[in-house]
Amino acid sequence: MTLDKSPVYSGDMDKLPVDRSSCEHILMGTDEVTVLASSAGTGGALFAVEIRMRPGGGPPVLHRHEPGEVYHVTAGEFTFYVGDGPDGAVRRVTARAGDVVPLAGGVPHTVRNESAGDATAFVVHAPGAPMEGFCRAVAAAAADGPPAMEQVLGIAAANGITLLGPVPAAGS
């Protein structure tokens, strides 16, 4: 087999499978993000992570961004709020271990752990830079305690993410 162009990934991607002992870990509030493939390591194509959410974890607001996302739930359960219903109605969808949830770019959504136990998912964001930039900046801002909402809004805007407000009741 020959390639008609050079691969878009970095030399780090040649270390397959991913050595989890050398992965970077980012703490966003109580959510733990393990970076499996960075934007830089994939030529900007994607940002692949494993996310572990404790009960009550996840973004507290609906948001929208251009990158698409795919979640593969590997343990526990996640609750997704997706604003793609008629007239922007929000659907509430619960995904359990083994379920895959694709989210198109531009669709209002959030994901929470509303269960009593930890939940884990393999997540891919494509393209990767906006979500990776947001994750890293929020984690840095929260290093000394919860950041001010104005700071989070600025970080979101700088990374092409629009925060839309609290999660409404499903179907409203």
User: Averaged over 17-36, what is the pLDDT?
Assistant: 91
The domain in which residue 103 lies consists of: 19-161
Residue that is written with structure tokens 């925060």 in the block: 163
> Is 69 inside any structural domain?
yes
- Cα–Cα dist 59/45, whole Å: 24
Q: Which among 56, 43, 4, 47 is positioned nearest to 24, based on CA atoms?
A: 47
User: Averaged over 68-89, what is the pLDDT?
Assistant: 92
**CATH value at residue 113:** 2.60.120.10
> Is 109 inside any structural domain?
yes
> Is 78 inside any structural domain?
yes
Q: Which among 74, 72, 58, 86 is positioned nearest to 167, based on CA atoms?
A: 58
Domain total in the chain: 1
Q: Is the pLDDT of residue 5 over 70?
A: no
> Is 67 inside any structural domain?
yes
The larger pLDDT score, comparing residue 147 to residue 96, is at 96
> Is 2 inside any structural domain?
no
Task: Categorize the per-residue pLDDT at 44 as very low, low, confident or very high, splitting at 50, 70 and 90.
Answer: very high
> Is 90 inside any structural domain?
yes
Average confidence score pLDDT of the chain? 88
> Is 8 inside any structural domain?
no
Q: Is the pLDDT of residue 10 over 60?
A: no
Per-residue pLDDT, 169: 59
Per-residue pLDDT, 171: 47
> Is 112 inside any structural domain?
yes
